[in-house]
Amino acid sequence: MPDFSLSSEQTSLRDMARKFARGEMAPHAAECDRSARFPEEIYRKAYDLGLMNLNVPAEYGGSGLSLFDQCLLVEELAYACGGMTTSIIANCLALEPILLGGTDEQKRRVLTPFCASYQLASFCLTEPTGGSDAGALRTHARRDGDAYVLEGEKCFITNAPHASLYTVFATTDPALRHRGIAAFVVPRSAEGVLPGKDEEKMGHRASSTGTVRFEKVRVPVRDRLGGETDGFSIAMRTLDHTRTPIGALATGIAQAALDHAARYALKRETFGKPIAEHQAIQIKLANMAQAVAAARLLTWHAAWIIDGGRKGTLESSIAKCFASDAALHVADEAIQTFGGYGYMKDYPVEKLLRDAKLTQIYEGANEIQRTVIARELLLGYA
């Protein structure tokens, strides 16, 4: 059985993230949400504290944290603002394909200069014609001498308008479906890379989400990750790793919702006593607390499995799916505890609901997570 007691290093790491989240992020969360502002100055501070390239080994200039330690930090950041956290951890998603599929030469050439200063990277898999069916990509990679020519469009890409580097998945032959997909590293400076505008979103409004068009972009063969048919496997293995921190992100949102609800319930009086003394509210708070604890433990368990060298496909999908459903439910119950005030933008809980919603959709919709969970589960019964 795993032992989840934190070492003194882990406690210091968590406390550092908590201090940054509550001191630097939280004071700006409502304003960035209202105006959909991308607070680059906060992201630069996150970089300076080593909170950005968490998964990149120290030898390539990153923080080199275990997935478990990443989850500790991500929960703290998300407690303050889910949207800012999404932008802060997007580099982990974008760089993971290089860690999994790149050679040592590629890692040194790409990651080392990238991590040496504040820069953003984006993971480009999803396309306008579909995100869940990742084997059906239309972005095309045509071999031409010592390069590929990329042509196509990606959408819903976190940080795309601000990124200097993209990891891009493209097909050499759509008829081959997942067996025809290759992965590439593409600098924004390459001719024909055209990031689009920021999308106007329901939640995660401090984060930036946009399209990227690739118009006849020449990508040298040396910037392909793995073999020409390895792209789908690299994408899937990347998501196995990065869905777990989404569980942590959702847990942070849920914990914030629970804390707001409990504090409010102790202050707000009806029928001559604080609503926290009414059983209807106590049951709500008790159920919310159970959901938060289970989300955190499932996330830590998935991280523990993957840190131990196992694949973690099942566990990361369970963590992401459960924690994101829990976050939406807990945020909803927090609003209900606040009553009419909860529905007002002057109070913090309606933002938590809008932010929680995205965690059910991105890095694989929860319907896909359930597909993955069922497939993995049934393997054990076949």
Catalytic residues: 363
Q: How far apart are CA 377 and CA 290, in angstroms?
A: 24
* Residue 230 touches ligand COS, criterion: CB under 6 A: no
Q: How far apart are CA 320 and CA 302, in angstroms?
A: 9
Backbone angles phi, psi at 81, to 5 degrees: -165, 115
Q: How far apart are CA 362 and CA 123, in angstroms?
A: 12
Beta carbons within 10 angstroms of residue 45's beta carbon: 18
* Residue 237 touches ligand COS, criterion: CB under 6 A: yes
* Residue 363 touches ligand COS, criterion: CB under 6 A: yes
SS3 292: helix
C-beta of 275: minimal distance to ligand COS in Å? 39
Backbone angles phi, psi at 155, to 5 degrees: -140, 170
Q: How far apart are CA 308 and CA 218, in angstroms?
A: 39
- The conformation of residue 154, written as its DSSP 8-state character, comes to E
In this complex, which beta carbon is closest to ligand COS, that of residue 89 or of residue 257? 89
Exactly one of 43, 232, 264, 322 binds ligand COS (CB under 6 A); that residue is 232
C-beta of 365: minimal distance to ligand COS in Å? 7
Q: Which stretch binds ligand COS (CB under 6 A): 204-212, 268-276, 345-353, 363-371?
A: 363-371
Q: Which stretch binds ligand COS (CB under 6 A): 4-12, 16-24, 99-107, 133-141?
A: 133-141
Name the residue with the smallest CB distance to ligand COS. Answer: 364
Exactly one of 68, 300, 338, 362 binds ligand COS (CB under 6 A); that residue is 362
Exactly one of 25, 281, 368, 373 binds ligand COS (CB under 6 A); that residue is 368
Dmax over CA atoms of the chain, in Å, equals 80
C-beta of 350: minimal distance to ligand COS in Å? 24
* Residue 102 touches ligand COS, criterion: CB under 6 A: no
Backbone angles phi, psi at 187, to 5 degrees: -75, 150
| Binding stretches for ligand COS (CB under 6 A) | 123, 125-126, 131-135, 178, 232-233, 236-237, 239-240, 313, 362-364, 368, 371-372
